[in-house]
Amino acid sequence: MIGLCCIIMDEDEKGKEFLKLIDDQNTVQWNIVAKLSSLIKSEWNSMELKTEVEDLVKQHYKITKDLNSLDDNNSIL
């Protein structure tokens, strides 16, 4: 019975982490859109914005990788 309780709590924690990662991913996506819009307005001449977009894409990749690692049994995604 104790083992089952721990499994349920573990799944609950996975669910909470999943929702947090989805929220983080959404925020990063909107930041990417904002930076790309600014970069276009700068006629692609801002190295600072290019670097920021690159960093945001790396963040998005890491979040996506973390999301996928939560889904052991293809049950969440």
Residue 67 contacts by C-beta under 8 Å, 6 or more apart in sequence? 18, 21, 22, 25, 77
pLDDT, tens digit, for every residue of 18-38?
Answer: 999 999 999 999 999 999 999
Where are the chain's structural domains?
A: 17-70
Would you tell me how many other CB atoms lie within 10 Å of the CB of residue 63? 20
pLDDT, tens digit, for every residue of 4-15?
Answer: 554 555 878 888
Nearest to 16 by CA among 70, 77, 74: 70
Q: Where are the alpha helices (DSSP H) in the chain?
A: 2-41, 47-70
